[in-house]
Structure 1
């Protein structure tokens, strides 16, 4: 018999996931508008390297003009709308599982980002936003000198 360690937080997390699922289902089925103002929430991946922060939103079936991307007061806001395309002839849909309508995502941007260098691209259903970091916030390599004697403090003076 294997001995497992009891983790009370695991049960709390499971309860939280169930509650989130209930609220999401309620919003999807046309519940009160107070629960959710967006029709769907696209999933996002966020990663960072030494030069930039990158966001990738999964939003297939959209056009470039369907996006509204703004960066203001250290907040990146992404809005969009995926429209349900109806054809002239009547179709008998058996199931519609893809989400349509408007979406809204908002992200806090750290002060290390250069707000003048933001790029956005859309390819294969993925919206990619790159936020370049400021030069002064990038990590700097410091070389260690062996046998150099005591360390002396050097003033940083602007180049003339």
Structure 2
């Protein structure tokens, strides 16, 4: 079991997200903006761990692999990129525009050292998958007990 550091800011953001879901249908998106600002977006990410590696899965709809950059430095994996806005068609009347565009950056600190030479990234159908193998020193080891 891992220890999670308490963060009052995270609790406030979680409360804000709960309130947004609760009242989301009462407010039209045109008149209600999130604290991130209009058009801002961050891709959703899942991070899982096994004894040997971490796996990061990010949803990046509308992007291709050339739009995304990945880096790992000092125990932090960073995913950054840009979702470019399509050109507006002057021959159409837009009734609603809800899709978000712009630059994004997500960074995650991993609690153990990673073998940087074995990191793998795959991108298919808007889903980015990262495999971050743990270094040998970071992997769990069984220590035999000698009884004398």
User: What TM-score do you get using the length of structure 1 for normalisation?
Assistant: 0.65
Could you tell me which runs of 5 or more consecutive residues in structure 2 were left unpaired when the two chains were aligned: 1-10, 21-32
Which structure has the greater CA radius of gyration?
Answer: 1
Distance 1:98 1:85 in 2: 10
Partner residue, 2:50:
49
**What is the rounded CA distance, in whole Å, between the counterparts of 1:81 and 1:114 in structure 2?**
28
CA deviation string 1:72-91 (max 9, x = no partner): 12221111001112266633
Q: 1:92 to 1:107 in 2, by over 3 A?
A: same
How many residues are paired up? 126
Kindly tell me: are residues 95 and 129 of structure 1, through their superposed partners in 2, closer, same or farther at Cα, counting changes over 3 Å? same
Instruction: Give how far 1:21 is off.
Output: 6.3
1:76 is aligned to 2:95: no
Could you tell me which runs of 5 or more consecutive residues in structure 1 were left unpaired when the two chains were aligned: 1-12, 31-38, 145-149, 153-160
Partner-residue secondary structure (3-state), 2:118? strand
Q: Does 1:18 align with 2:16?
A: yes
| Match in the other structure for 1:91 | 92
CA offset digits 1:10-56 (Å, max 9, x no partner): xxx6895137867x7133237xxxxxxxx311111010011210111
Any runs of at least 4 consecutive aligned residues in structure 1 with deviations exceeding 6 A, and if so which? 19-22
TM-score by structure 2 length?
A: 0.69
